[in-house]
Structure 1
Amino acid sequence: MELSRRAMLGTLGGIAAGSAVAAMVKTGVAASEGPVISPGQNGHFAQQYGEFGWKPHKLDPEECAKIAYEGYWYKGYACGYGAFYSIIGVLGEKYGAPYNTFPFTMLEANKGGISDWGTICGALYGAAAAYALFWGRKERDPMVTELYRWYEQTALPIYQPGDMAQGVKGDIPSNPSGSVLCHISVSKWCYNTKLPASGKERSERCGRITADVSRKAVEIFNAKIDAGKDWKGAAGKPEALRYCGECHTKGGESDIAKGIMDCTPCHSGSEHTMNKFKDHP
């Protein structure tokens, strides 16, 4: 009997440990065929399949977007799980090991910007983590920058699940978040729409954004596979990052800033970033 995707979503994570052990036994028998475990150092850090050793395969961005949306709602595992599964889980459905040996529920920790701390958008982390199974930072960082800058600047959500919507059907408002941080992204959307962060509309918004992130992430993934080491993104630096970086990065008079996210949402001096602990209404 053919398993439904919903059943697969639940079972793949559960069989991960057994599959990993089986893979280790198999590679142990076939060790003479070539190196399959990175040696690590001083008895530590060895890694099955090698460091950044998985082989990427091109995927359909629209198929992945749909699965990312479904994954967001699956058992409430949310954005990080949905985005990551839509890449690595789908590879597992199509190609088996090693992709289907990953314990996908680990990515559930990214819900709410990592356990409700409102830090990085979980969908963005899920995509970056998927990239990291294939490419080290020198090749991966430009991919992440391309995705994250797109997220900062694009009015989201775009994805429309139609009758398959699991939270709220129909159109919902979109806006550019200006930030990759869950707290700012959600708060800005709620402020603009006058809708509560605890409401179904906000949850639906994040489900659709998970699909949007997956689609864009897979487009970048496919382009990287095609171009290899020659791939370069088109994302540039926001003007605020250039302006602030003149003083606050390496070589400046006050080298205290770390990071390449847009400075504006947190440091613009707007009504939202002023001191709210003094004379707050």
Structure 2
Amino acid sequence: METNGVSRRQVLIGTGALAAGTAAAHFTGLLKSAVAKDGKNEKWPWPYEKLDPQKTAEIAYNEWYRVFCGAAVINSVFSQLAEKIGEPYSSFPSDAFVFLEGGQVGWGTICGSPAGANIVANCIIGPRISGADEGHHIAADNMQFYSETALPTFKPASPKITTEIKTTVSDSPLCHISVGKWMKATGYALGSPERKDRCARVAASSAYHLVEMLNAWKDGTYEAKSTFSSAKENGITGQYNCDECHGDNVPEAPQMPKA
């Protein structure tokens, strides 16, 4: 059989080659996935040298104006460790986490500052499924620190805004609530230089606190502080200020039957 000058045999050979190539590509992909999963970056903990919290906060503050909150916190730690140690920090794509800005691409959910800090802690120490739970506890402490502390706590050496930046307590890890409360307390709009500098200082405050905990972990003196668990207390994941948004209309979660 001839089809536009191509014989049936040629078609079959071409089809077989395509199938073989597809199978080879698929198999190669499986090998690459296996290598990635068991690669050296999944050996925890990663090497860590103690950092200066003040220097780290200054880096985070200035980085905020380039990559915003989450990536600024990540860069403030990993850029220093890349200089001190090298890999796996040198090739870590910190800038990829710019999407954490605005509570995840502007959706106002978890603020990028604690989110970035949690990424750092769990990359260095490892996830709790790896056998060490300090990274998990540091993440919980990051959330509680952000929620309960009058932020920002950090004042840069060379601030980009000379206006006094008011501090507020968010009682929430959500960007929407944290920024919203600050805007209400100060009267500054979202796009104002003052609001931007406030968030840069919040990122710096989070980086400072993170390094304090990582240094304590390195010394073997870290002790977890957060004991809050909405899942245990309320039967559903959440934060501890439900009434503020829900008012009296807080839905009750169905409870698991007792064994």
The 3-state SS of whatever aligns with 1:49 is: helix
* Residue of structure 2 in register with 1:201 after alignment: 194
**Residue correspondence of structure 1 range 33-48 to structure 2 within 5 A:** 45-48=37-40
Instruction: Quickly say closer, same or farther: Cα 1:90–1:245, change in 2 above 3 A.
Output: same
User: How far did residue 108 of structure 1 move?
Assistant: 0.8
Which residue, out of 99, 120, 123, partners 2:110? Answer: 120
State the 1:269 CA deviation.
4.5
Candidates 213, 216, 219, aligned match of 2:212? 219
Distance 2:40 2:83 in 1: 20
What is the DSSP-based 3-state SS (H/G/I as helix, E as strand, rest coil) of the residue aligned with 2:183? helix
Alpha-carbon offset, residue 64 of structure 1: 0.2
How far the C-alpha of 1:47 sits from its partner, in A, is 2.6
* Aligned residues of 2:46 and 2:123 also touching (Cα < 8 A): yes
**Which residue identity does 2:120 align to in structure 1?**
A
Say whether residues 1:233 and 2:224 are aligned partners.
yes
TM-aligned CA deviation for residue 159 of structure 1: 1.4
Cα distance in 1 between the residues matched to 2:34 and 2:50 = 37
Q: Are the structure 2 counterparts of residues 205 and 225 from structure 1 closer, same or farther at C-alpha, using a change threshold of 3 Å? A: same
Deviation at 1:193, TM superposition (A): 1.5
The residue number in structure 1 matching 2:255 is: none
Cα pair 2:147 2:170 within 8 Å, conserved: yes
In structure 2, runs of 5+ residues without a counterpart are 1-30, 251-259
1:59 aligns with 2:51: yes
In structure 1, C-alpha distance between the alignment counterparts of 2:68 and 2:112, rounded to whole Å: 8
Query: Does residue 123 of structure 2 align to residue 133 of structure 1?
Result: yes
Quote the offset at 1:49 in angstroms: 3.1
Q: Decide whether the 8 Å contact of 1:178 with 1:265 is kept in 2.
A: no
CA distance in 1, matches of 2:225, 2:45: 26
In the TM superposition, 1:147-186 aligns within 5 A as: 147-162=142-157, 164-166=158-160, 168-186=161-179
Superposed CA offset, 1:228-263 (max 9, x none): 7xx42123439xx5xx955x31xxxxxxx1245543
Partner of 1:25: none
**SS in structure 2 at match of 1:209:** helix
Q: Quote the residue 1:79 is aligned against.
A: 69
TM-score by length of 2: 0.75
Give SS of 1:184's match.
helix
Give the root-mean-square deviation of aligned CA atoms. 2.6
Against the structure 1 CA distance between its residues 103 and 209, is the aligned structure 2 distance closer, same or farther, given a 3 Å change threshold?
same
**Alpha-carbon distance in 2 for matches of 1:237, 1:193:** 30
CA contact (8 A) 2:142 2:210 kept: yes
Secondary structure at the aligned position of 2:95 is classed as helix
TM-score computed with the length of structure 1 as normaliser:
0.69
| Per-residue deviation, residues 157-185 of structure 1 (Å, max 9, x unmatched) | 121124x222x214211110111111111
Letter in 2 for 1:146: D
* Counterpart in the other structure of 2:22: none
Question: What amino acid sits opposite 2:149 in the alignment?
Answer: T
Displacement of 1:48 after TM fit? 3.1
Using the TM superposition, give the Cα deviation of residue 50 of structure 1 relative to its aligned residue in structure 2, in angstroms.
2.7
Q: Secondary structure at the match of 2:37?
A: coil
What does the per-residue CA deviation read over 1:191-247, in whole Å, with 9 as the maximum and x for residues that have no partner?
A: 12222122111111000001100000100111111117xx42123439xx5xx955x
